Structure 1
Amino acid sequence: MSAPPRSRRSRLLADISPLRDHPDFRRLWFGNTVSDIGQQMTAMAVALQVYAITGSSFYVGLVGLCSLVPLIVFGLYGGAVADVVDRRRLGLVTASGALLLSVALAVVAIAHIRSVALLYAIVALQAVCFAMNSPARSSMIPRLLPPERLPAANALASLAGGVDQMAGPLLGGLSVGLWGYQAAYLIDVAAFTASLYAMWRLPAMLPGEVAAGGGETGAGAAGATGEAAAGAGGTGAGGAGKDAVRRRPSVMEGLRYLAARPNLRTTFVSDLAAMVLAQPRVLFPAVAGLWYGGDTRTVGLLAAAPAAGALLGGVFSGWLGRINRQGLAVLVAIASWGAAVAVFGLTRNLWLGLAFLALAGCADTVSMVFRNTMLQSAAPDDMRGRLQGVFLVVVVGGPRLGDFLAGSTADLFSPAAAVIGGGLACIAAITLIGALQRGFVTYDARHPVP
């Protein structure tokens, strides 16, 4: 049965049909949203607790380092594991582990144990659980939805992400202030139950199997899965269900597959151009005072502006499902990110600067929606976990490299040179990528080619 026609207004707003028509996806989206808010609360509470113990921003910064290394290492391995086991079971086990670690944080807070090393260890283990869980969760989505619903689903994920990033830290700081650190951790424990319930209701998800609801998409549905996987190591999707469970997880197999697929590879290269070359967030403390004469509240506004833009991009994402030239859309969105960052570097009016940062966040949402959709629809099912693992590493590691580059450039020259130069470098890099990867420019979602 075809969906009823949407009004002009509804075509502009986020398409909620994946939530309305697909109960499994609805439960998973809601559960992930609630649990992600809880995790953001925990991240804020840990940062506040470390600062209360040490009085040092340096030690607070080490919290991020403790999570970065496990995310990168286990993100790749977690993606490989997700391609050879039941993804539902992997999601349940790793989410349960993260829940128990939040319980451990609550116990540490209740017992008034003032050990930064213990907090670092728990944060690192949480990052391991997240790195193993995220590729499994993401690679479930194409099994729950038909291919034409994937852009809308990814836009809804971006919308939820914007809510998580804005509400989680706010609620975390509020709960710590009212009831102590243990309150934020215990709320996180309760929030995890929503994600666990959603995954518990899912059917088993062995890689390579076609979902009962017709959720297999793109290359797999077209019969290209067998050829694609054979080129990557001799694993066809047809009949891969039981065979996949007996295979050993191979990170290198996924990297070899990616190296031979220019369109999928370009989704990562283009995102790195944005996140490494034009990442201004590490400069916010400096520019808040130098450009706007502000204080820590100004830094908070600058940090929140891209998230607000991402949230608005998710709210008004109804038009994304009508775009078929998704590769070209990614390049335009990333060039828009670079342009917005460069213009932000030219502004000395706070509200105008916030507006351009919000535009950058909105452009990033558009890029993310189409890049993730291309990964989900063009890749065979038995490679999706590994590609989502690479996606996680790029999303986590790229901004950290961007922080280092922007900070170094600002020290050598000036914050303005770092921001403006980074934005212009992003535009130049994405233009070069488009010139060299013509297949990516002409990529058509109706005929996905990895």
Structure 2
Amino acid sequence: MPLVTDRKRFALDLTPLRTSRDFRFVFTAGVVTSFGSFISYVTIPYQVAKLTDDPLMVGLIGVCELAPILIMAFVGGALADYIDRRLLVRGAEVALAAICGILLINSLSDEPHLWLLYVAAFLTAAVAGLQRPALEAMVPRLVKPEQLPATMSLQSLGAQFAQLFGMPLAGILLANFDLAWVYAFDLLTFAVSLTCLTLVKAVPPPPAADRPSLSSVVTGLRYAKSRPELLGTYLVDINAMFFGMPSALYPFLANKLGGPSVLGLLYAAPAVGSLIATLGSGWTGRVHRHGLMVLIAAGFWGVGIVGVGLSTSLWLTLFCLAFAGAADMISGIFRMIIWNQTIPDHLRGRLAGIEMLSYTTGPLAGQLRSGLMARTSLGVPGAIWVGGVLCVAGTVALAAALPKLVRYDGKNGMALKKAADDEWAAAAAARS
């Protein structure tokens, strides 16, 4: 009996999938579309590397994605607090399918255009900036508040499943088929995701929602500034991803470890670790020192990346990537719990836009960082392990600079959110 109890204590909680019809549709849509998108995520850098044989040119993809996100995340966040979040998510999904179609057409050309790959990366990031805040603000409305930790774990599980199977499949497809077939597969997945999103019921904005404007964006920024634990989660993740995200170097690392056939394994290995961490994430619902766990996990991410840079063996490299992925998932779960259990609903979209900046700018800028360092005497391995060391050092420095994040206790998080929501509802009723 104690053994059974211990297993239940650590087992993944599936309650949100059982009790919420709309969350099931959103979950399914996310898994399917992510599965196809991760294939293109591998394919675009591979195609750029094949056309240029230059790690910096691959790293520039991150620059193309970073620029629109810096703007569109704020726009998407403001819109998510004003219009039906489901419609915004679905409209963006249609736009992403169209961009995938452009990549397919370009791949059929005898001489594919390099510039078009960068344009597609730019547009994809812009549309994602519109979609992601609405999606993240919509999900807490589909489940009960006490189910949020389990919901965050399930969403992470879906992304991990897509990454774990999508990226290795990309490597297999790239090794055996033309690029057009790879992009065509991604395009087909949008048919499933759009069907699921169409079946989700409307998710209207909160009462007396703020009209999208520069003022409404500033309101979200001021709220984030007033919450040191929120700022801390953003800074810790930016630091970890900027110094410890070497994905732009995977095509070149794969050449040293076995060729294109292992490229998908490098991309998928972090998802293996993330999957293991998620399947055993039942314990996270009983931990209240969320901020401390974010810091510890971010430090272990850096340790794993150091191992990747120092390794000369494929299997050791994959193990280190999986270890790093597990640490990143633990950090991500606690960051999402802090966000979704404490941020008032009428600000959720705008804060989701800020969150998107935190978890996208770091990796995208990190691609450029790793590409530039790889062109120096450090080479590809040195650019990776030095980045991991800087990640650990930066995490320690942030822990010293952010004592409120270290001491943050989530026991009262949901109560504070409810109080803020009630205050907003009362003020809205008074204005009407």
TM-score by length of 1: 0.78
Please state which structure has a larger fraction of its residues in helix.
2
Note the aligned Cα RMSD (angstroms).
3.4
**Shift, 1:400, TM fit:** 3.2
Give the superposition deviation at 1:137: 0.6
Q: CA deviation at 1:303?
A: 4.1
For 1:97, the equivalent position in structure 2 comes to 95
Q: Do the aligned residues in 2 keep the contact of 1:278 with 1:419 (CA within 8 Å)? A: yes
Residues 1:79 and 1:313: Cα distance change in structure 2 (over 3 Å): same
Which of these residues, 187, 198, 201, is aligned with residue 200 of structure 1? 198
Partners of 1:59 and 1:421 lie apart in 2 by 21
The structural deviation recorded for 1:180 is 4.5
Tell me which residue corresponds to 1:379: 343
**Does structure 2 conserve the Cα–Cα contact (< 8 Å) formed by 1:85 and 1:245?**
no
Q: Give the gaps of 5 or more residues in structure 1.
A: 1-5, 209-240
Q: What is aligned with 2:209?
A: 244
Structure 1 partner of 2:239: 273
**Counterpart residue number, 2:292:** 328
Mapped contact 2:35–2:162 kept (Cα < 8 A): yes
Q: 1:319 to 1:91 in 2, by over 3 A?
A: same
Contact map agreement 1:72 1:396 (CA 8 A) in 2? no
For residue 98 of structure 1, report the CA deviation from its aligned partner. 1.8
The one-character-per-residue Cα deviations of 1:326-356 (angstroms, maximum 9, x if unpaired) are 1121112112222333455555555344323
Residues 407-447 of structure 1 show CA distances to partners (whole Å, capped at 9, x for unaligned) of 55563657676555544443343334333433322322231
Q: 2:226 aligns with which of 236, 260, 263?
A: 260
Partners of 2:290 and 2:178 in 1: how far apart? 46
Q: Distance in 2 between matches of 1:47 and 1:333?
A: 28
Give how far 1:163 is off. Answer: 2.2
For the structure 1 residues 256 and 189, does the alpha-carbon distance in structure 2 shift closer, same or farther, using more than 3 Å as the test?
same
Q: In terms of mean alpha carbon deviation, does 93-102 or 428-437 score higher?
A: 428-437
Matched with 2:270 is 306
Over 3 Å counting, the alpha-carbon distance change for 1:97 and 1:15 in structure 2 is same
Residue in 2 aligned with 1:76? Answer: 74
- Seen in structure 2, the aligned counterparts of structure 1 residues 101 and 422 have a Cα distance that, compared at 3 Å, is closer
**1:379-411 superposed Cα distances (whole Å, 9 cap, x missing partner):** 111222122222222222212333444555563
1:118-173 CA-to-partner distances (Å, cap 9, x unmatched) read 45434432332222111111111111122322222222222222222232234345
Q: Which range moves more in the overlay, 334-343 or 166-175? A: 166-175
Q: Per-residue displacement from partner, 1:71-93 (whole Å, max 9, x unpaired)?
A: 33312321222122221111121
CA contact (8 A) 1:155 1:365 kept: no
Q: Report the residue type matching 1:315 in the other structure.
A: L
1:310–1:358 Cα contact (<8 Å) kept: yes
Q: 1:8 to 1:180 in 2, by over 3 A?
A: same
C-alpha distance in 1 between matches for 2:53 and 2:37: 23
Aligned partner of 1:39: which letter?
S
Matched residue of 2:209: which SS? helix
Q: How far does residue 281 in structure 1 lie from its aligned partner after superposition?
A: 4.2
Mark the CA change 1:312 to 1:79 in structure 2 (over 3 Å): closer, same or farther: same
2:332 aligns to what SS in structure 1? Answer: helix
Inter-partner Cα distance in structure 2 for 1:303 and 1:177:
15
Following TM superposition, by how much is the alpha carbon of 1:31 offset from its aligned partner in structure 2, in angstroms?
A: 0.8
Shift of 1:283: 5.5
Query: Match for residue 405 of structure 2?
Result: 440
1:339 has 2:337 as partner: no
The code of the aligned residue for 2:193 comes to S
Scaled by the length of structure 2, the TM-score of the pair is 0.81
Amino acid at match of 2:333: V
> Is residue 395 from structure 1 mapped to residue 359 from structure 2 by the alignment?
yes
State whether residues 165 and 268 of structure 2, in contact with CA within 8 Å, keep that contact through their aligned partners in structure 1: no
Supply the distance in 1 between the matched residues of 2:191 and 2:257 (Cα, whole angstroms). 44
Identify if the C-alpha distance between structure 1 residues 416 and 34 changes in structure 2 by more than 3 Å, giving closer, same or farther.
closer
- Taking the aligned partners of 1:347 and 1:178, their CA distance within structure 2 comes to 28
Gap runs ≥5 in structure 2:
418-432
1: CA distance between counterparts of 2:386 and 2:111?
A: 46
CA contact (8 A) 2:49 2:251 kept: no
- Tell me the distance in 1 between the aligned counterparts of 2:152 and 2:321: 22
Q: 1:15 aligns with which of 13, 28, 36?
A: 13
Q: Is the 8 A contact 2:137 2:348 kept in 1?
A: yes
What per-residue deviation string (whole Å, max 9, x for no partner) do you get for residues 258-316 of structure 1? 11211111110111221223334455577778xx8765656654444323212222222
8 Å CA contact 2:373, 2:379 repeated in 1: yes
Q: Indicate conservation of the 8 Å contact 1:24/1:198, yes or no.
A: no
Percent identity over the alignment? 34
Structure 2: how far apart are the matches of 1:134 and 1:78? 8
User: What is the match of residue 85 of structure 2?
Assistant: 87
Residue type of the partner of 1:142?
P
Identify if the C-alpha distance between structure 1 residues 188 and 333 changes in structure 2 by more than 3 Å, giving closer, same or farther.
Answer: same
Structure 1 CA distance for aligned equivalents of residues 356 and 308 of structure 2: 27
The residue aligned with 1:235 is: none
Q: Cα distance, 1:188 vs. partner?
A: 2.9
Matches within 5 A, 1:40-79: 40-47=38-45, 54=51, 56-57=53-54, 62-79=60-77
CA contact (8 A) 1:13 1:318 kept: yes
Equivalenced residue count is: 410
Number of the residue aligned with 2:328: 364
Helix, strand or coil for the counterpart of 1:371? helix
